[in-house]
A = this chain, B = another copy of it.
Amino acid sequence: MSERGILTVISGFSGVGKGTVIKRMLRDYQAYALSISATTRAPRVGEQDGREYFFKTREEFEAMIAADEFVEYAQFVENYYGTPKAYVEQMLSEGKDVILEIEVQGAMKIKEKFPDAPTIFIVPPTPDALRERLVGRGTESQEVIESRLRRAVEEADSMDQYEYLVINDDLDTCVRQVHAIIQSEHLKGSRNIEFRTNLAQGMNKFLKGDR
């Protein structure tokens, strides 16, 4: 059926383990590729251009913005971060299912440009499970912990913006469910108009005896 890849947006609570879920998807299934962001921040030790990030100067990044070369971008502190259109498009046309891990505002911008991109929000099984992960081992200051908890409450407001909710309780189940979502997206009639048209046209020959 459709050979073009699907762009999937994955968001979720900080601390819910979405990075681990995505790593497992990339490890377990050939079909996936991770969207790579561009950034103006300096590479850290061990980071490689085109693997962790596409590293750009401020001038290069702003030229890309001017040329409308980002699906979305944002500025955090001193630096720009953005999703380059060209890379995503290249992966999709090669038939890769591209996974984009992104926070809520970015996700909504993606949805504007890729209206058929499924959006998935990863949630904890219970509020207490998330609280435990955010509080951690009690080595952090009360201030840090409270700011994390506040952030989680803000993130909860955005859950209803997403098409799918997947619980990350058992990691294997979570990975399997995200995979099932993307598989089933491939089977949507709206993604297979060409297959459908060809099948119907091919079947019209069944009737040629009538003519």
Chain A residues within 8 Å of B, Cβ to Cβ: 1, 121, 123-124, 126-128, 130-131, 146, 149-150, 152-153, 156-157, 159-160, 162-167, 177, 180-181, 183-185, 187-189, 192, 195-196, 199-200, 202-207, 209-210
Q: Which of A124, A165, A196 has the most CB of B within 10 A?
A: A165
- How long is the Cα–Cα vector from A160 to B195 in the complex, in angstroms? 11
B165–A206 contact, CB under 8 A? no
Q: Which of A152, A184, A202 has the most CB of B within 10 A?
A: A184
22 residue pairs bridging A and B, Cβ less than 8 Å apart: A1-B165, A123-B199, A127-B203, A127-B206, A131-B206, A150-B207, A150-B210, A152-B206, A153-B206, A156-B199, A157-B200, A159-B189, A159-B200, A163-B188, A164-B189, A165-B189, A165-B192, A166-B187, A177-B183, A181-B184, A184-B184, A184-B185
Chain B hits for A189, CB < 8 A:
121, 159-160, 162-165
Main secondary structure of the interface of A (DSSP, over half): helix
Knowing A199-B156, A200-B157, say if A184 contacts B207 (CB, 8 Å).
Answer: no
Q: How many copies does the complex hold?
A: 2
Chain B hits for A163, CB < 8 A:
188-189
Chain B hits for A207, CB < 8 A:
149-150, 153
Chain B hits for A156, CB < 8 A:
199-200, 203
Chain B hits for A203, CB < 8 A:
127, 130, 152-153, 156
Chain B hits for A149, CB < 8 A:
206-207
